[in-house]
Structure 1
Amino acid sequence: MKRFQWYVMGSVLTAGLLGLAHDAYGEAPEEELSMHSQCKLSLLKGSYVYANTGFVVTGAERIPFAQAGRDVFRGDGTLTGSATVNTNGVSSRIVYSGTYTLDSNCRGTAKTTDNTGVTDHFDFFVTKNGETLAYVQTDPGYVTATFEVRRDD
């Protein structure tokens, strides 16, 4: 009987410590994230500036790029933007438009198409006040991560 009690107590203690470890790293079960979040499409509204660097990977080759730009989120699931891109030392300017989703847990996706016909996909995370977002490009062959900050005109 004592052995069973120690086993149960050990299991409860282990589960509690694992829960604390998750809390320490800012991880929470999905249902907890949804309960305490209030993100919606209209949270992203206004002008955001960003800069990013990364690589386009083709086989064993890594082609570096850097980009600086401005996104304008309309608060309704649409966005427009412009940027200067430097790919392997060659600069160009682009304009683009796109759509985005935003879940109540402040996670979203975006899809943009630029004036050259290139379509890109992103996963992003937004602060609860909508001032900052972080994203990664999810298209195969791209390695990049970016922060955007709201800078209304």
Structure 2
Amino acid sequence: MHRFKLMSLGAILPGILLLGLAGREAMGSDEESIATTSSSHRCSVRTLKGRYIFDRKGIFIDPATKVQTDFVASGFNVYNGDGTMTGKSTSSFGGTFDRLTFTGTYTVNPDCSGTVSFKASNGFSHTVDIFISEDGDALSSILTDPDNVSSAMEWRRL
């Protein structure tokens, strides 16, 4: 029975690969698609303006012991449209809850990527890389601090 499944997959796989290659030919190269898309972006710090709710999930890795601790956070950020921001969140770090406020700054590149650097009320500072929708209504982020693995989505809510 296993041999039949493997032979069936072997017969199907070349067709799947051929369809994928044909689709790539029809769409053009990745470089062409990226160049076309990025040339239409015109983001700036003004793109992020308003209150954004967020949901962050991740893992903190203790640098000394390498023990991993899960964490989650929900809250909101207020981007002022001038490169400054504030926020508030509730987080659970390995089951211990914390309520934080934070302030920071952000940069936005014309291609709608950027960074946010902020300091939380518990004294910790963090930096995230951000990727913003062209209309500024949503962004995704990834924490770039050592020993942290996390990502988040943010949505503008009026």
| Separation (CA, whole Å) in 1 of partners of 2:85 and 2:45 | 11
Shift in alpha-carbon separation, 1:20–1:34, aligned structure 2, 3 A: closer
Amino acid at match of 2:42: Q
| Separation (CA, whole Å) in 2 of partners of 1:130 and 1:80 | 17
Query: Match for residue 66 of structure 1?
Result: 72
Instruction: Tell me the secondary structure at the aligned position of residue 97 of structure 1.
Output: strand
Cα shift at 1:131: 0.2
Cα shift at 1:55: 0.3
Query: Structure 1: 5+ residue runs without aligned partners?
Result: 1-15
Cα shift at 1:115: 1.1
Query: Match for residue 119 of structure 2?
Result: 113
Is 1:146 aligned to residue 152 of structure 2?
Answer: yes
| Separation (CA, whole Å) in 1 of partners of 2:92 and 2:148 | 15
- Residue 127 of structure 1: which of 130, 133, 136 is its match? 133
Runs of 4+ residues deviating >4 angstroms: none
Query: Match for residue 56 of structure 2?
Result: 52
**Count of matched residue positions in the alignment of Structure 1 and Structure 2:** 133
Alignment of 1:5-44 (within 5 A): 17=25, 20-22=28-30, 28-29=34-35, 32=36, 34-44=38-48
| Separation (CA, whole Å) in 2 of partners of 1:56 and 1:27 | 36
Deviation per CA, 1:76-124, whole angstroms, max 9, x where unpaired? 0000000001000000100000000000000010100011211000000
Instruction: Tell me the secondary structure at the aligned position of residue 42 of structure 1.
Output: helix
| Separation (CA, whole Å) in 2 of partners of 1:27 and 1:93 | 43
Instruction: Tell me the secondary structure at the aligned position of residue 28 of structure 2.
Output: helix
Q: Percent identity?
A: 29
Amino acid at match of 1:95: T
* C-alpha RMSD of the superposition: 2.1
> What is the TM-score of this pair, normalised by structure 1?
0.80
| Separation (CA, whole Å) in 2 of partners of 1:61 and 1:20 | 45
